[in-house]
Structure 1
C-alpha cells in the first residue's frame, strides 16, 4: 500500500504514519504539507490519501478546488468536531470517509480497509453535530446492496432520526409497512440494527 498523508510534520501525524506502516506489510506513507503538495502540481497515484482536517483548517492559502483536481484516489478525512468539514466534502472529490481524528486504532485501521475495498466510512456522531446527513448519503452504494428507492428513502429518514410514526405520516404508509421495509433494509445490509456508526459492510466486517 502506498499512502499519501497530507498534514503537518508533528508527533500526532508521525504517530498515525507509524500505525499504518506497522500494520500493513510493504506499505509506505508519504507525508506532505498541503500547500506544498498543491505547489508541486503532482499527479502521482496512491492507494489512499489521508488528509488531516487540522492542517486544512489552519491553512491560510489552501485552494480546495485545486487540491481536489490533484487527487484521483480514495480519501479518508480526519477531523475534529469544530472543523468545517461539510465544506471539505462539498469541494474535495473522492472523499470516501470522514472520521474523528482521535478515534481508536482499530476503527482507524478498519476504516482504511473499508475505503481501500471501495467502501465508505463516516462517523455519524460527528456528522449529526453540525450537518445534514443527506450530504453523505450514498445512493449508489445502497442501490448496489439491493435497496429499492423506497427503502433508501426510509433508510435516509431513519439515519436522520425519524420514528416509524413520522415516516408513516410522511410517506402515507402504515407503521406496519414501514416496519417491514426497515426489516428488509437490515437484512439486505447484513446488520441487526441501525448503528450510530454506519458504514459500508465488507466481507461481513463492520467498521
Structure 2
C-alpha cells in the first residue's frame, strides 16, 4: 500500500530536524519517510489490537524496535542517536537500547549480528601487530561483543576501552579472531 502525507516545514525547521536525524536537508524527505514507516507500523499494531501497552516504557521500546527496522537500516543505534530522537539522557538511552535488545532479541538477532559485524570490519591495528582498535560509541555493542566472547571461551580477554581515549576500544588478536569466526567476518590483517 502506498501512503502519502504532507508536512509543512519552514527552512529553520528543516535544518533543525535534519541536524537531529544526522542527515542533510536534501536527504530529509527520505529519512522522514523511514521514520514514517515505523510510525505507521506502530499505529497499525495499535489499531488492530496486536500491541496493547500498559506502560509508557513498553511503547518506547516498541517504537525503538520499529526504528531499528526501518530508520536505522537494521543497525543498533548508539546512545547519542537515541538521546537525540527520544529526548532522553545517555543513561536512559543506554537502558532503553539494552531493554530493546533483550525484549526483542529474536526479532533483532540478524540486526545485532550485522551491527557487530560492521564493528569487526572497521577494526584495525598498528603495523599489523598488537591489539585491534575500533571506535565504538555504544556501551551496548561492547556488552554484546563481550557476551559472545564469554559464550565462546570464558578465558578470552574482553573488549576494553583504550587508555586515554573517549570511545576507542581494543581487542586482543585472539579475541578479535574468535569474534570474527563466530560472526562470519573475514579478519583484517
TM over 0.5, shorter chain: no
Structure 1 or 2: more helix by fraction: 2
Give TM-score scaled by structure 2 length. Answer: 0.37
With normalisation by structure 1, the TM-score equals: 0.35
Which structure: greater strand fraction?
1
